[in-house]
Amino acid sequence: MAYFMVVLLDDSRMEKIKGTDLEKNIKYMFGGELRLLEVEVNEELKDKILAEFETARVDSRGAITDVPVAFMRELFNQVAEKKSLGPEVVEGVLAKVNEIKELAAKESEYLPPPEIETE
Amino acid sequence: MSRLLIERPLPHGGRLVERVIEDKKVAQKLWKSCKTTYEIKPTLHYETGVPVRNVYREIMSICYGFFSPVEGSMKQAEVERILKERRLLSEWIFPYPLIFDISKDDLNKLGVEVGDRLGLTLKGKPFAILDIEEIYEIDPEELAFKTFGDPETNPEVVREKFDKKHPGWVIYRSHQPWVLAGKYTIINPPKFKAPFDRFWFPPRKAREEFEKRGWRTVINHQTRNVPHVGHEFLMKCAAFTGDVEPCHGILVNAVIGVKRRGDYPDEAIVEAHEAVNKYGYIKPERHLVSIVLWDMRYGNPLESLLHGIIRQNMGCTHHMFGRDHAAVGEYYDKFATQILWTKGIPSFGFPAPPTDVPYGLLIRPQNMREFSYCPTCKEMAYSETCGHKREKLSGSFLRGMVAEGVQPPSIIMRPEVYKVVVKWWKKFGYPFCNEKYVINKEKELEVELEDL
Ligand SMILES: [Zn+2]
């Protein structure tokens, strides 16, 4: 099975990859309302992610989900920095695994809410 | 009138149980007649000590009639009958033992006997009385196993032996070994805190509300989740059942109780469902959000039976059931609930569906699969109708999106629903239930009590 991780693209992330080749790889779901990139994950990296993060799981499509938010944030940073969707992206994230785990520990109790108007 | 019209069903057992004293003078007199008092304690996980249940929720649901015809903590013979054939001593079907359990130490300290009246306090205030008819001992582990069944005894639907990874099994395993059996009466009705207060429709009030709205047929949607658009379509489309016309009303009934980490907060769940009608996705004249207090046992087919009882008592004519209804893990067959309601489960005491056995239910099951977005049809499509490849949305994918702070597209989650999630996220500092929320909730509960 081929594994992958989904990087969601909101407006601010779209800004950061503007003009790069990554734009050609954008996938659209839900009638074009959701934009995303799929990062390739090989068998070895998949096992590493599952070993490092106990919440992580693989869904029926082969997508790796339920990793800490800090992981997902770094995943986008690596995509933008390396301008790639290959396995080196997840390798780059895993190189910072300790830093991510530290952030994740804090994130299990607090996550900054988005800046939108509520009532 | 057409013979095809479906009438609002009688409560399970024929009449609504209502054991709530509103008259303060009567209540004070009853309170004074108590031999002694006991402060209700949360049931703590038998290994970790984390709260897993609070019996106050059962007392509330019994006394307000959600669990009619159950009137109190069950006697030993009744518990045994339930475990054998899921029937009360009065013959009416019922899935779970419900008991008032205390430790040996507490029993000794109380010094109560059969015939005594015990005053129950909650958060230090008088709450209810228990008229003791029987005192007996249980083996919590045996109770836990027998409550849910096992692959040998219930081969039709049980796939795995239950263990401590199952939260419902843990609830029974964590019961204290001594039981005080007898009827409960609430003598000091608790007041729900906002936002729960406006969603409190106990069976009598729910039935009155249906009458006022002209809802003869009502379909119930069971929830413990913030609604995404898939849920919204499930509700709208399941409501096309009914009799000669679609159901007049859709009742959302949210189960409020002990939370697990990663669930959405109860406050967000009820207000998010309300946003569905407030902003017209289903117009408020046809949609009502309500709550019931219950610490979920996740007993899939057994839980669906309890859900049927609760919603029939509230006056619903139909009940939606999905795949893996109220399930966790792989203990039961994915379609165990559908098997119960279409064929029955003989080993659980149902040679026929619960609607087709004596002393059974009147509410009609509406078994549903799921809705997801079809890029070809360009709409939310039903899994059993649309012949295209649809874009399935897993719950964990959506939760990941929310946690990352990315607003889901409105075809996945309505913007007003998302705003409710963010509103409570700001309040609790977290979009889901974290440890602090779970512990605080069991300390504060959903209610306040005044002095008597
Ligand atoms: Zn289609």
Residue B62 exposure: Cα atoms within 13 Å on the Cβ side: 24
Question: Are the Cβ atoms of A118 and B423 closer than 8 angstroms?
Answer: yes
Question: Are the Cβ atoms of A65 and B396 closer than 8 angstroms?
Answer: yes
In chain B, CATH 3.40.50.620 sits at: 196-444
Say how far apart CA B452 and CA B441 lie, in whole Å. 24
Mean pLDDT of the B327-356 span:
96
pLDDT of residue B178: 98
Q: Could you give phi then psi for residue A54, rounded to 5 degrees?
A: -70, -20
Question: Ligand 1 mean position to B374 CA, how many Å?
Answer: 5
Question: Are the Cβ atoms of A33 and B391 closer than 8 angstroms?
Answer: no
pLDDT of residue B136: 98
In this structure, of A15-29, B55-69, B292-306, B390-404, the range with the lowest mean pLDDT score is: B390-404
Question: Are the Cβ atoms of B396 and A109 closer than 8 angstroms?
Answer: no
Any CB–CB contact under 8 A between A109 and chain B?
yes
Question: Ligand 1 mean position to B395 CA, how many Å?
Answer: 21
Whether B36 and B118 have beta carbons less than 8 Å apart is answered as yes
Nearest to B412 among A30, A69, A73 (CB): A30
Question: Are the Cβ atoms of B411 and A33 closer than 8 angstroms?
Answer: yes
Question: Are the Cβ atoms of A116 and B419 closer than 8 angstroms?
Answer: yes
pLDDT of residue B261: 82
Short-list A30, A43, A37, CA closest to A9: A37
Give the three-class secondary structure for B427: helix
- Reported as a single tens digit per residue, the pLDDT across B267-289 is 999 999 999 999 999 999 999 99
Best of B397, B421, B424 to substitute, by most chain A Cβ atoms within 10 angstroms, is B397
Residue A11 in this model has a pLDDT that exceeds 90: no
Give chain A positions within 8 Å (CB) of B411: 30-31, 33
Least CA distance to A114: which residue of chain B? B405
Distance from CA of A70 to the nearest CA of B (A): 9
Give the three-class secondary structure for B138: coil
Give chain B positions within 8 Å (CB) of A118: 419-420, 422-423, 426
Beta strands (DSSP E) in B140-206 are 178-186, 191-192
Provide, for chain B, the percentages of residues in helix, strand and coil under a 3-state DSSP scheme, each rounded to the nearest 5: 35, 20, 45
Q: How confident is the model at residue B1 (pLDDT cuts 50, 70, 90)?
A: confident
Distance from CA of A23 to the nearest CA of B (A): 19
Distance from CA of B436 to the nearest CA of A (A): 8
Short-list B364, B338, B354, CA closest to B305: B354
Chain A, residues 23-82, CB within 8 A of chain B, namely 29-31, 33-34, 57, 59, 63, 65-66, 69, 72-73
Identity of the residue numbered A72: M
Give chain B positions within 8 Å (CB) of A72: 400, 404
* CATH code of the domain made up of B24-138+175-188: 3.10.400.10
Q: What is the DSSP letter of B53?
A: E
Least CA distance to A112: which residue of chain B? B429
In chain B, CATH 3.10.400.10 sits at: 24-138+175-188
Q: How confident is the model at residue B204 (pLDDT cuts 50, 70, 90)?
A: very high
pLDDT of residue B406: 86
- Reported as a single tens digit per residue, the pLDDT across A64-118 is 988 999 999 999 999 999 999 999 999 999 999 999 999 998 888 899 898 888 8
Least CA distance to A31: which residue of chain B? B375
Task: Centre a 10 Å sphere on the Cβ of residue B160 and count the other Cβ atoms it contains.
Answer: 13
Q: How large is the C-alpha radius of gyration of chain A?
A: 15
Q: What is the 3-state secondary structure (H, E, C) of B351-405?
A: CCCCCCCCCCCCCEEEECCCEEEECCCCEEEECCCCCCCCECCCHHHHHHHHHCC
Question: Ligand 1 mean position to B397 CA, how many Å?
Answer: 21
Torsion of CA B117, B122, B125, B131, to 10 degrees: -10
pTM: 0.94
Distance from CA of B383 to the nearest CA of A (A): 16
pLDDT of residue A116: 85
Question: Ligand 1 mean position to B412 CA, how many Å?
Answer: 16
Residue B405 in this model has a pLDDT that exceeds 90: no
Domain ranges of chain A: 3-107
- Domain B196-444: what homologous superfamily? HUPs (3.40.50.620)
pLDDT of residue B373: 93
pLDDT of residue A8: 93
Report H helices in chain A.
11-17, 43-52, 69-82, 87-94, 97-107
Residue A61 in this model has a pLDDT that exceeds 90: no
Q: What is the DSSP letter of B197?
A: G
Identity of the residue numbered A89: V
Say how far apart CA B398 and CA A68 lie, in whole Å. 14
Residue B172 in this model has a pLDDT that exceeds 90: yes
Helix and strand numbers, DSSP H then E, in chain A: 5, 5
Mean pLDDT of chain B: 96
